[in-house]
Amino acid sequence: MPRHRPRASVRAPIDLNPRTDPPLDFPVRELGELGPPDYAELGFMCGLEVHQQLDTRGKLFCRCPAGVRTTRVDAEVLRHMRPTLSELGEYDGTALMEFRTRKEIVYLLDRRSVCTYEIDDTPPFPIDDEAIRVALEVATIYGLDRVSELQVMRKQYLDGSIPTGFQRTAMVALAGALPFPDSELGPDRVLRIRQLTLEEDSCREVSDHGHRIVFRTDRLGMPLTETVTEPDLLTPRDVATGGRMLARYARATGRVRRGAGAARQDVNVSIAGSRRVEIKGVSQHRVLPRLVHNEAYRHLELLRIRAELRRRGVTEAMLTLRELDPPWSDRLAVDARSLLREAAATRLCEARERGDMIAAVRLPGFAGLLAHRTQPGRAFDHELSERLRVIACLTARPFMTHSDEPDGGLLRAAAWRELRAALRCDDEDAVVVVWGPSDDVATAVEELVDRCREALQGVPSETRQAHRDGTTGFERVLPGPERMYPDTDTPPWPVPDRWLAEIDAAPAEPPHAREQRYMEGGLSRRAAQVLMDRELVGLFDALAPATEVGRRRLAAALECRLIAWWRETGARTVPEATRLSPLVEAIDAGALRPEAYDLVFDELLREPQTPAAELVARHAAGKDAEGDLRRAIEGLRPRLAVVRFGSPQARLRWALGQVMPAVLGRLGPDHVRRRLEQELS
């Protein structure tokens, strides 16, 4: 690969946090130790991009079925991606970065879920009507201004996740706001939504090792919406709450998919003095607070590194490689193979025996900074190694050591002295040694110097991946506006006025309105939210209990008994309203005592062949209850004669617990207690 590569356009100022005064003396605190005023002092800003798959029959630009998850492989396709100039004659930085990885991209095809469109052998089919209609319904419940005509655009993707190298996307709606009250930040808050677009989904990644990445195409082309919020989320807790709220609104339409991978959040984070960084593809809301808290502190630590570099007088000119091939011909890098014959660890000796290139790079002014903490359990050297892993495709760890590592890392003191002499280092310079295939090491040397030059700007604009421990790692350079251009294969698509009128005539009930209605009917806020999150509102509203007791009992049974039944059976089956309606009617009419509700509910699930009315009648209030109570008390007398109790009250409580199951739902506990007091006195 030639070392002389085209440069990306300059990053747009829109990625900058509006505040330029980073609080470098801000104390390090754990998640939960900071409140809204602390995050305001930090200049914390956050917004979401929520990707939600739509529940349609077909894919967006072809007639293949959507939602088919498969492991079958009928064919494989091999691709290589190359960047193209934008309409303004500029390269997108992300496209250039992906091109430098020299990836071999393999697609696993199942002919039941893909066609020639997905592998870019035919133009797109007409856009799917059903997907547009569902996207308009989602936009309506968000309260957005819907467009009158869809114009399909192309968004460059050279990471291989889309075989065409671009994603087709269309703007559906703009500019709206949702109620977003908070006990600390105010009851009148709103979460502004910038836009909602309709897009085709990308492939599922199977493996990524070295220069070969493998994708499965069953998900490719499925319609999804991307909802972009303004940066109105002011604390980590806010981020999780906002994500849950947006998901709840989309699900209220009943037209979106659920399950693993059906909804994914991209989180945009910045603090005062930093640039926007995107954390990609977070699927669980509960992990968002720790992720964004750690990312905010990562920005702060990078800004502290920038301040120290400026204090030391480091400039961009000092961290610029000349256009030489190979790059270790430069003053900042040397071929270290001949310098490390006797003073290297086993790993470096093995690399030399394999014929790997070993290069040493001088980083002016970075002494001590490679060990500077940036995230929990991570230092600045992790920023460098992640760049090399992703862009240079160095995956056989370890592939890097440096002079700030404890005890010299993988090299002895004599080796470091020899390298520093060869590179003409002074006391404030750091040295990094990297090894691997020659072409990969050449890319690695350039990336090391580029990333350290970016440190002079503070926080580079990146897309990062979320790790399970709450930290993040480099994924790619953050895309710029150069990646978007019109799709010449798809004509504009006017939105029928009739569709908008039909949607407006029967809109989905917004979650905040439904929650308020349920609370006015006697449910708690938590119970109302559980019904919405579990998509049980349709069943609850169809049964429509007439009494407050009936509503509370039904909500509790759906939350506890039904979900327990799902876990037990492994099947997420919702019972028909006609199956449960005799139970609801019996409670409303007083024909069944509330204590029997869960028992009858369980029997309705476990005995599907038995008529519901028969099961309810089996536990009807008062039916044969007195006779059963009398027999239960008589059967208890022999046991009472041999069991010792500490007090009469303890004896009565024990007897009540033994007798109640025999008349549960038919006689009240107070009545049974009085009978026991009479019989046992």
- pLDDT tens across 531-554, in order? 888 888 888 888 888 888 888 888
At 613 the pLDDT is 84
The pair of structure tokens assigned to 47 is 């917004």
At 482 the pLDDT is 64
Please check the confidence at residue 8 and state whether its pLDDT lies above 60.
no
The pair of structure tokens assigned to 310 is 């400026």
Alpha carbons 281 and 203: distance in angstroms, whole number: 13
At 61 the pLDDT is 93
Residues 6+ apart with CB under 8 A from 163: 77, 79, 105, 107, 118, 119, 120, 203, 217, 220
The pair of structure tokens assigned to 283 is 């699927």
Q: What is the pairing mode between strands 462-466 and 277-282?
A: parallel
Nearest to 411 by CA among 314, 351, 345, 461: 345
> In this structure, which topology does domain 316-457 adopt according to CATH?
Gyrase A; domain 2 (3.30.1360)
- Residues 600, 583 contacting (CB under 8 angstroms): yes
**Which tens digit of pLDDT belongs to each residue from 446-476?**
899 999 999 999 999 999 999 999 999 998 8
The pair of structure tokens assigned to 155 is 């968004």
At 10 the pLDDT is 46
Residue ranges of domains in the chain:
13-276, 316-457, 509-618, 625-680
Residues 6+ apart with CB under 8 A from 364: 314, 318, 319, 332, 428, 429
The pair of structure tokens assigned to 185 is 């930040």
For 291-315, letters b (16+ CB in 10 Å) and e give bbbbbbbbbbbbbbbbebbeeeebe
Containing H/E element for 462? strand 462-466
**Which tens digit of pLDDT belongs to each residue from 267-324?**
999 999 999 999 998 988 999 999 999 999 999 999 999 999 999 999 998 988 877 6
The single residue listed with the structure tokens 């209850």 is 625
Alpha carbons 248 and 512: distance in angstroms, whole number: 9
Please check the confidence at residue 48 and state whether its pLDDT lies above 80.
yes
Q: What is the pairing mode between strands 104-109 and 75-79?
A: antiparallel
| Beta strands, E only, 54-189 | 75-79, 104-109, 145-146, 149-150, 152-156, 166-179
Sheet arrangement for strand 204-209: 75-79, 104-109, 212-216, 204-209
